[in-house]
Amino acid sequence: MLIKLASAATLNSYVKAVSLASGCASAGTSCLISGWGNTLSSGTNYPDLLQCLNAPILTSAQCSSAYPGEITGNMICVGYMEGGKDSCQGDSGGPVVCNGQLQGIVSWGYGCALRNYPGVYTKACNYNAWISSTVSAN
């Protein structure tokens, strides 16, 4: 599902469109995850300011090892196996931007920022054709 705004967004230095990826990013690529979700792995704290995290795309092997039998080809893991930094509740649906291109969408994980459980994201590059055709049709 894509959300259609009632009126066009006013683009400025604070509001910008993100480019769809020209291809899928590889493991090790540094990405920016942003959102207003919970900043605590235990307890709750929802910030007033947008939070950002730079984190790498992990290998498929790391992702599958963290979540055996749960990872599909439409998912990527982004983050740190040692834990400590992650997206969390309230960030879902937010962007993962790598080199200025949308590569992921915040989706799920076990807890937040837990060791050996990185965040799992929708692999946005797999949906570029659908996104483009849906936007064109509307």
pLDDT of residue 41: 85
How confident is the model over 2-40, as pLDDT tens digits? 788 899 999 999 899 999 999 999 999 999 999 999 999
How confident is the model over 60-86, as pLDDT tens digits? 999 999 999 999 999 999 999 999 999
| Residue 46 near residue 38, CB atoms below 8 Å | yes
Reported as type and span, the H/E element at residue 103 is strand 101-108
Largest Cα separation within the chain, whole Å, is 44
How confident is the model over 95-135, as pLDDT tens digits? 999 999 999 999 999 999 999 999 999 999 999 999 999 98
pTM higher than 0.85? yes
Domains located in the chain, CATH noted: 25-137 (2.40.10.10)
Q: Residue 115 burial by CB count (10 A; 0-12/13-18/19+): exposed, middle or buried?
A: exposed
SS3 1: coil
pLDDT of residue 109: 97
